[in-house]
């Protein structure tokens, strides 16, 4: 029997063990031999469909290398994908919840077996080093297992409680919504791509999934696993393409019932706006689930264990080069310990080597030219808005490879209202902000339009309790790094301009993709 309580998160791989490094290097060789240079077509109604135009995935750490290509869906392909998904829904919605869940569990089992391949592919396609790729594939497995098991609580008539009423039977039935669209970002191209598709699917919906342009290959790899696990044709339509073209078409289409989107605030808000406009042929108010950006802060007060704080800051800031929605991009330090914390932080950050993901460098290249240019723009602004304590240069090259490298950068004494302290940079750039005291630090932390992750390093109980209630973040961490939420352990999602707080990997996430019907029979 499938039970929610049987879920256990995947352990991470210990890369201090030489045999794990060797296994990873072998996987890189295997992926180079078997997957690199391959083409990933669309999947519509279970069939592989090629297109005249293609999208190219470049290795960001070595831009001379083409990792592979994906098809580039046209509007006609998107139209067919939606139609096919609606047809598939007619039978998929009638499947028992546990039968649907078993497909996810089987997919999780296949991915466990192919874990290293998935990791190696991401190392090449988006520049994740070994540990970053490993935790992401673990998260993908977790999403599949957790959603499969969570689905059980929505199965059958009476899954949700109602109050007794004389002379009647009353009950609630969770039903799937229909067909929706899932649009994912490049920075968690395995876990978020599959999590946002698997959740609606297990609940009985069909999904048209559009991955990010920079990361279509790992998404195609995951779709293959879902098909191998037995997912019927049409339930998951794979539609790599251009966001502004097919993405826009799908989100504005009258037959799209829900949109689950993870990405930038600008695109998310745009989707929210266009999805709210009713178009001819529409009979459903679109449900929009948004997971957007952040300007995440960690506070260090004068009572903190400073070693713990500096380690937490380092991990939160530079893991995957700061390209996480949860990345610590603001370090807020109270005046009394400011110099000590900042000096230690800069010293430790100085030691971070910049290099290729393939050689497992702690800091690798950012994902593409657009990111490189955007971050470089903030580096130019840095001397005007603070004191550049470390880095400050785009590199463009590391270890003889041309790629989108940026030096880890720390900018001190940034004003809380400055652009560096307010705007999401999405790169290895940290703004340090000086606070007079604890209360000032908390005010600064709450002074952006975002509310995704946050942290406090302090040993004062009353401050932690105050932060528990008043620090405005969907995911708050004390005395540890502010990244790395684990499915089921730290349900993830932000509020304010960081999203609709849907809490991916949380106990109520599947309810986003279900409608609740009350049925009464008078005896």
Residue 142 touches ligand NDP, criterion: CB under 6 A: no
Answer yes or no: are the C-beta atoms of 225 and 111 closer than 8 Å.
yes
Q: Which of 325, 358, 385, 424 is catalytic?
A: 325
Stretch that binds ligand NDP, among 73-81, 340-348, 475-483, 491-499 (CB under 6 A): 491-499
Cβ 271 vs Cβ 301: under 8 Å: no
| Terminal Cα distance for the chain, rounded | 33
Stretch that binds ligand NDP, among 141-149, 178-186, 340-348, 460-468 (CB under 6 A): 178-186
Contact with ligand NDP (CB under 6 A) among 62, 117, 132, 291: 291
Euclidean distance between CA atoms 245 and 113, whole angstroms? 36
**Phi, psi at residue 490, to the nearest 5°?**
-125, 80
Tell me if 247 contacts ligand NDP by CB under 6 A.
Answer: yes
Please name the residues in contact with 41: beta carbons below 8 A apart, sequence gap of 6 or more.
48, 49, 50, 51, 70, 71
Site for ligand NDP in 307-366 (CB under 6 A): 325
Please tell me whether residue 404 binds ligand NDP under the rule CB under 6 A: no
Which among 106-114, 179-187, 218-226, 231-239 is the span making contact with ligand NDP, rule CB under 6 A?
179-187
Chain positions 440 to 459 lying near ligand NDP, rule: CB under 6 A, are 452
Q: Choose between 95 and 495: whose C-beta lies nearer to ligand NDP.
A: 495
Does 505 help bind ligand NDP (rule: CB under 6 A)?
no
Q: Is 360 helix (H, G, I), strand (E, B) or coil?
A: coil
> Does the annotation count 325 as an active-site position?
yes
DSSP calls for 295-341: -EEEEE-TTS-HHHHHHHHHHHHHGGGG-STT-EEEEEEEHHHHHHH
- The correct pick among 24, 92, 146, 186 for binding ligand NDP (CB under 6 A) is 186
The binder of ligand NDP chosen from 8, 29, 39, 244 (CB under 6 A): 244
Residue among 125, 291, 385, 423 flagged as catalytic: 291
Residue 494 found at the interface with ligand NDP (CB under 6 A): yes
Active-site annotation holds for 169: no
125 makes contact with ligand NDP (CB under 6 A):
no
Nearer to ligand NDP, 150 or 262 (CB): 262
Q: How far is the CB of 2 from ligand NDP (least distance, A)?
A: 26
**Burial environment of residue 468 by CB neighbours within 10 A (0 to 12, 13 to 18, 19 or more):** exposed
Least distance to ligand NDP, CB of residue 439, Å = 28
Q: Which residue has the tokens 């994906």?
A: 70
Which of 98/213 has CB closer to ligand NDP? 213
CB of 232 to ligand NDP, least distance (A): 25
Residue 473 in the binding site for ligand NDP (CB under 6 A): no
Binding range to ligand NDP, per CB under 6 A, among 42-50, 225-233, 247-255, 429-437: 247-255
Q: Which of 185, 484, 505, 506 binds ligand NDP (CB under 6 A)?
A: 185
Pairing relation of β-strands 453-457 and 475-478? parallel
Q: Which helix (H) or strand (E) holds 432?
A: strand 429-435
How big is the chain by its Cα radius of gyration, in Å? 23
Q: What is the DSSP string of 490-521?
A: S-B--EETTB----BTSTTGGGGGEEEEEEEE
Residue from 117, 296, 424, 472 touching ligand NDP (CB under 6 A): that is 424
Structure-token pair, residue 76: 């006609």
Determine the Cα–Cα distance for residues 287 and 275; give it in Å rounded to an integer. Answer: 8
Contact of 58 with 65, CB cutoff 8 Å: yes
What are the Cα distances from residue 149, in Å, to 225, 228, 437, 509? Answer: 19, 20, 45, 12
In the block, tokens 């449900």 appear at: 287
Residues in the interface with ligand NDP (CB under 6 A) total: 33
Is 148 in contact with 58 (CB distance < 8 Å)? no
DSSP 8-state class, residue 6:
G
Q: Tell whether residue 490 is a contact of ligand NDP (CB under 6 A).
A: no
209-238 binders of ligand NDP (CB under 6 A): 210, 212-213
Provide the minimum distance between the beta carbon of 274 and ligand NDP in the complex, in angstroms, as a whole number.
8
Residue nearest to ligand NDP (CB): 243
Kindly tell me which residue out of 248, 336, 359, 413 binds ligand NDP, with binding defined by CB under 6 A: 248
The reply to whether 127 sits near ligand NDP by the rule CB under 6 A is: no
What is the secondary structure of 256-304 as a DSSP string?
Answer: --EEEEES-HHHHHHHHHHHTS--TT--SPPEEEEE----EEEEE-TTS
Interface pick for ligand NDP out of 114, 153, 255, 270 (rule CB under 6 A): 270
Smallest distance, Å, CB 54 to ligand NDP?
13
> Which of 2, 250 has the CB closer to ligand NDP?
250
- The span from the CA of 184 to the CA of 199, in Å, is 14
**Cβ closest to ligand NDP, residue 210 vs residue 401:** 210
Residues that bind ligand NDP (CB under 6 A): 183-188, 192, 210, 212-213, 242-244, 247-248, 251, 262-264, 267, 270-271, 291-294, 325, 424, 426, 452, 494, 498-499
Give the residue numbers marked as catalytic: 291, 325
């Amino acid at each position: 029997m499938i039970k929610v309580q049987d879920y256990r998160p995947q352990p991470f791989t210990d890369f201090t063990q030489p045999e794990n490094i060797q296994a990873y290097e072998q996987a890189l060789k295997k992926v180079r031999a078997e997957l690199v240079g391959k083409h990933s077509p669309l999947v519509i109604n279970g069939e592989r469909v090629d297109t005249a135009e293609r999208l190219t995935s470049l290795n960001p750490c070595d831009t001379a290398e083409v990792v592979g290509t994906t098809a580039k869906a046209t509007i006609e392909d998107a139209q067919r994908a939606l139609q096919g998904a609606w047809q598939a829904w007619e039978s998929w919605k009638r499947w028992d919840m546990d039968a649907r869940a078993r497909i996810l569990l089987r997919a999780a089992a296949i991915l466990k077996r192919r874990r290293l391949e998935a990791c190696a592919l991401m190392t090449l396609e988006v520049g994740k080093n070994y540990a970053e790729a490993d935790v992401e594939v673990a998260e993908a497995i977790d999403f599949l297992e957790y959603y499969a098991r969570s689905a059980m609580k929505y199965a059958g008539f009476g899954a949700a409680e109602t109050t007794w009423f004389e002379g009647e039977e009353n009950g609630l039935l969770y039903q799937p919504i229909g067909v929706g669209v899932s649009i994912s970002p490049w920075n968690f191209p395995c876990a978020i791509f599959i999590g946002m598709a698997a959740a609606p699917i297990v609940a009985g919906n069909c999904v048209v999934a559009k991955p990010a342009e920079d990361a279509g290959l790992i998404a195609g790899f995951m779709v293959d696993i879902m098909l191998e696990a037995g997912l019927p044709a049409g339930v998951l339509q794979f539609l790599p393409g251009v966001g502004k073209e097919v993405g826009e078409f799908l989100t504005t289409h009258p037959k799209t019932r829900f949109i689950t989107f993870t990405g930038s605030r600008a695109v998310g808000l745009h989707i929210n706006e266009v999805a709210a406009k009713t178009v001819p042929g529409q009979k459903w108010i679109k449900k929009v689930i948004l997971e957007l950006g952040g300007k995440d802060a960690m506070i260090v007060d004068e009572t903190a264990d400073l070693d713990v704080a500096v380690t937490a800051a380092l991990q939160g800031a530079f893991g995957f080069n700061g390209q996480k929605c949860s990345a610590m991009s603001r370090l807020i330090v109270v005046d009394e310990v400011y110099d000590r914390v900042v000096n230690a932080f800069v010293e430790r950050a100085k030691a971070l080597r910049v290099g290729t993901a393939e050689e497992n460098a702690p800091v690798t290249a950012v994902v593409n030219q657009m990111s490189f240019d955007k971050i470089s723009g903030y580096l130019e602004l840095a001397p005007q808005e603070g004191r550049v304590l470390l880095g400050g240069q785009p590199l463009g090259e590391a270890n003889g490879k041309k790629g989108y490298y940026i030096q880890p950068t720390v900018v001190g004494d940034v004003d809380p209202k400055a652009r560096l302290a307010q705007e999401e940079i999405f790169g290895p750039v940290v703004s340090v902000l000086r606070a007079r005291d604890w209360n000032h630090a908390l005010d600064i932390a709450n002074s952006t339009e975002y509310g995704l992750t946050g942290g406090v390093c302090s040993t004062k109980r009353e401050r932690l309790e105050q932060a528990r209630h008043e620090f405005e973040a969907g995911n708050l961490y004390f005395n540890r790094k502010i990244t790395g939420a684990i499915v089921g352990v730290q349900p993830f999602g932000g509020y304010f301009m960081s999203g609709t707080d849907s809490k991916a990997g949380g106990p109520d996430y599947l309810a986003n993709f279900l409608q609740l019907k009350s049925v009464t029979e008078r005896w």
